[in-house]
Chains A and B, each alone.
Chain A
Amino acid sequence: NAGVTQTPKFQVLKTGQSMTLQCAQDMNHEYMSWYRQDPGMGLRLIHYSVGAGITDQGEVPNGYNVSRSTTEDFPLRLLSAAPSQTSVYFCASSYSPNYEQYFGPGTRLTVT
């Protein structure tokens, strides 16, 4: 099993550009989530999904979109990148929020 994979590992964007961070898991987990990690702020939940076709907002959803068309994939879209979105982004999956979360290796995004 590959576990949770994220691409790309690093990305530099200019303000206003859009992009998609990819996340995939091969563990047949229903629950998937996206976090951003900033110094001193810990992990903040952006969006989450409890199954294919079902998504909801977390703590900091503004500027991000998600969709979940398959169990395996949960991409995160930045619509119009802003410097405030410079962060490290982690995708996680699990059977449910009450179970162990499996994290991807992260994507370091810089917006200039």
Chain B
Amino acid sequence: AQSVTQPDIHITVSEGASLELRCNYSYGATPYLFWYVQSPGQGLQLLLKYFSGDTLVQGIKGFEAEFKRSQSSFNLRKPSVHWSDAAEYFCAVARHRDDKIIFGKGTRLHILP
């Protein structure tokens, strides 16, 4: 069965430090991969997506993610976090011609001043 795993439920980093949020997926073919962010009390907003081509994709708010087929991973990174990055982050996976998108359980990011 298809699945998306975000191993870290909570992550705490200091403001200005680098960040990496992990995402692993289990799918039969090359998937469509997404990262969404949810600020407190808000809906989800797309950060970035990977469909094909360059495996390093750039998103909004200074985020990037790298697709590694050999590791079935799509980790989200940011070189220097800001206090406003405190939110919950969701990795999601869809498959070509499939009718559903699968979300991970989310990683909540806390920022220390």
Contacts and interface: CB of A to CB of B under 8 A. Distances in A.
B32 A98 contact: yes
A100 B49 contact: yes
A54 B45 CA distance: 26
B90 A101 contact: no
Contact of B105 (A33, A40, A104, A105): A40
B46 A100 contact: yes
B98 interface: yes
Interface in A62-95: 90, 92
A104 B43 contact: yes
| Interface class of chain A by DSSP | strand
A98 B94 contact: yes
B45 A103 contact: yes
A45 interface: yes
A64 B95 CA distance: 26
Contacts, number: 53
Contacts of B105: 40-42
Interface in A14-47: 33, 35, 40-43, 45
Task: Report the contact-size class of chain A (Cβ under 8 Å from the partner).
Answer: 20 to 34
Task: Report the contact-size class of chain B (Cβ under 8 Å from the partner).
Answer: 20 to 34
Nearest to A91: B43
B103 interface: yes
B44 A103 contact: yes
B86 to A, nearest CB: 17
A100 B60 CA distance: 14
A74 to B, nearest CB: 15
Contacts of A40: 9, 105
Given A90-B43, A100-B46, A103-B45, A48 B99 contact: yes
17 contacts: A42-B103, A42-B105, A43-B44, A48-B100, A50-B99, A58-B100, A92-B44, A97-B99, A97-B101, A98-B94, A98-B96, A98-B98, A100-B46, A101-B36, A103-B44, A104-B43, A105-B43
Interface of A: 4, 33, 35, 40-43, 45, 48, 50, 56, 58, 90, 92, 97-98, 100-101, 103-106
